[in-house]
Chains A and B, each alone.
Chain A
Amino acid sequence: MRNTALFSMRNLRLGILSAGALVFLAPYIWMISTAAKSREEIFSSSLTLLPQHWALWENLAKAFTRVPMGQLLLNGLIVCGLIFFFQVVIAIPCAYAMAKLKFRAAQTMMTLVMLGLLIPIHATALPIYVALNKAGMLNSYFALSAPFFISVFGIFLFLQFFRAMPDDLISAARLDGMSELAIVNRVIVPNAWPAVTAFAIFSVVAHWNDLFWPLIVITGTERATPPLGLLFFRAAEAGDDYGALMAATLIITLPLVAAFLLAQRRFIEGITLTGLKG
């Protein structure tokens, strides 16, 4: 029999969760609403969620014409791609060695990784900035991405994942004639997709949305990432065209939201790190 009681435990839970979700979603919903309103309506005293006159296209057009939005999105893509690629290429062999090989420096390396997790980018920002400046490499993709190539968080995440992989699998691979590099490429990576997906979420979200580091090393729009471009946009517009600003914000948040909705199941799988059942 179907449970049709209105105040059942299930509905109560659902209600509380929905209310919580609404609180978190409210700013984003308000942003979309504002992006669709004309300037007059934004500054009018009445507060409405649905705009009386739809001005979404005008606002979007302004966002695209006043800043090089295409360039910003491309920059974001290149920087996130570069960072993610190098992080994975460096972190996976490193984590494999720490998880499955026996060597004398393993303990020391573990300590270093833990230490690395504790030090935020803000602490090392100045020395890195000075170094990049001396090397004449400010305002470049390299300056935007290089400081993040070695991700201790990535090493840590993969380490936890690899430790759970059966040792027998690696022994079998060695007996089958694989070198250590071949083991990483042919056995570890193909079975580490959940971990790679999880790490991709953390890495791409963090660097797509990062404002701090681009603000330090980038001065012009031609290498600016989306959040930095947004900042330029606000400064250029003297801060009263909120409709266009919100439209621009909508555009730069859209790729991540779309990616999440498309790959929702895989993302959650990745975050919960469902282990290998072989």
Chain B
Amino acid sequence: MSAFALRNISKSYGTNSILNDVSIEAEAGEFIALVGPSGCGKSTLLRIAAGLDHGDAGSIWMGDREITAEHPADRNVAMVFQSYALYPHLTAEQNIAVPLAMRNLSTLQRMPFLGRFMAGRSTTQAAIKQQVLATATSLKIDHLLDRKPGQMSGGQRQRVALARALVRQPGVFLMDEPLSNLDANLRVHTRAEIVDLHRRTGVPTIYVTHDQSEALSMADRVAVMMGGRVLQFAPPAEIYDNPRHIEVAKFVGSPRINIINATTSDDGAVFFGGKAVVNGVTGPVGTLVQLGIRPERIKLKPHGAKGIAATVSRLEFLGSEVLVTTEVDGVEDGLVVKAAPVDVVHLSAGAPVTLVIDKDACLVFGQDGLRVPLRAPAKVSVDA
């Protein structure tokens, strides 16, 4: 049984379907990333999980407790918003204390003036203050407690927002692109901090992002969403190496995967550049397929070597590696190759080269975008 589960959630506005039978679950202590282009429904799904929005169908479970109809406050979920959504008129300390005050103090005790005379208020408030301080210290923001959000930097506000979510010890953490308002340096740093925080607290986390590298680097499992559907929900390595859909393959990985249009020949072989790059594609001969090849799975060889003839059209130096864009006959956009800098020192735009595609590097997708299964290579060799 999973710690938090969204089951078969559907949602549409009028005839516009936003979510289509989406199921995601997080095991205890798991970090789940929801990734997809903007407008794919990931933020809506998160709002439904929080109870801020309601699906047309489906159910939400916290362990074995169904919370589909519960009020956001009763679900014991915590959310970190993209804009942080800190109360501008309260100090950091007051901001962090709000969820505790709302939960632990009665309405009368919270009254602006009368509250002071209500029994038990001061002990509860002392406890809240203690908890706020402990949370703030663990996030290293205890020196900011008496500042208002307007007097803090983006990174500091982000920590206060995290502290406000953390302080109530939620059953699940929901994060809606919490890093997208930070500058690039701080983002990478905070990424690691959030993962650390997650390891320490062990609270299952659902993290929404449009940045595939963020999703791959942080999450235990990644759900790739497109057009209101989950195309694949798997660990990062599985998503990268074994995408089930061409859109997943295209979305994940930077630089983008190379796509080549081709047709199958006898015995399910696909020829490219005069060489069979894949064998054992199932389906009839002459089927149109799309081959996906990651840029790091293509090798650059000197002109004249055995392989695919190509011409360098652009070199992009990225420090530890160089992206080489090449023009190849029969491929409209050309092929991008990721190469080590030492291999390209002698190259410049216009130079002829030879490309060699790694064995087993090709991912084969049908016209419907789904992966086409291959017959097991062992069987092929037996037949031959």
Which residues of A pack against B, CB within 8 Å?
Answer: 166, 168-169, 171-178, 182, 186-187, 190-191, 276-278
Q: Please measure, in the bound complex, the distance between the C-alpha atom of A168 and the C-alpha atom of B73, giving whole angstroms.
A: 15
Query: Considering only CB atoms, which chain A residue lies closest to B102 in the complex?
Result: A177
Q: In the assembled complex, how far is the CB of residue A161 from the closest CB belonging to chain B, in whole angstroms?
A: 14
Q: In the assembled complex, how far is the CB of residue A91 from the closest CB belonging to chain B, in whole angstroms?
A: 20
Q: Given A168-B85, A172-B87, 11 more contacts at CB 8 Å?
A: A173-B87, A175-B72, A175-B77, A176-B99, A177-B99, A177-B102, A177-B103, A191-B88, A277-B88, A278-B88, A278-B150
Which residues of B pack against A, CB within 8 Å?
Answer: 47, 50-52, 72-73, 77-79, 81-89, 98-99, 102-103, 149-150, 164
Contact, CB under 8 Å: B73 / A169: no
Q: In the assembled complex, how far is the CB of residue A123 from the closest CB belonging to chain B, in whole angstroms?
A: 40
13 of the cross-chain contacts (CB-CB < 8 Å) are A168-B82, A171-B81, A172-B164, A174-B72, A175-B51, A175-B72, A175-B79, A175-B99, A176-B73, A177-B99, A191-B89, A277-B150, A278-B83
Q: Please measure, in the bound complex, the distance between the C-alpha atom of A173 and the C-alpha atom of B79, giving whole angstroms.
A: 11
Cβ of A191: which chain B residues have Cβ within 8 Å of it?
Answer: 87-89
Contact, CB under 8 Å: A178 / B102: yes
Q: Please measure, in the bound complex, the distance between the C-alpha atom of A166 and the C-alpha atom of B89, giving whole angstroms.
A: 14
Known contacts A176-B73, A277-B150, A278-B150; is-contact A171 B85 (Cβ 8 Å): yes
Q: In the assembled complex, how far is the CB of residue B368 from the closest CB belonging to chain A, in whole angstroms?
A: 38
Cβ of B73: which chain A residues have Cβ within 8 Å of it?
Answer: 174-178
Chain B CB count within 10 A is highest, among A172, A187, A190, for A172
Q: In the assembled complex, how far is the CB of residue B232 from the closest CB belonging to chain A, in whole angstroms?
A: 29
Contact, CB under 8 Å: A278 / B86: yes
Q: In the assembled complex, how far is the CB of residue B197 from the closest CB belonging to chain A, in whole angstroms?
A: 19
Contact, CB under 8 Å: A175 / B78: yes
Query: Considering only CB atoms, which chain B residue lies closest to A193 in the complex?
Result: B89
The 9 A-B pairs with the shortest beta carbon distances in the complex, nearest first, are: A177-B102, A177-B73, A168-B85, A172-B85, A278-B88, A190-B89, A168-B81, A176-B99, A176-B98
Cβ of B150: which chain A residues have Cβ within 8 Å of it?
Answer: 277-278
Cβ of B102: which chain A residues have Cβ within 8 Å of it?
Answer: 176-178, 182
Query: Considering only CB atoms, which chain B residue lies closest to A189 in the complex?
Result: B89
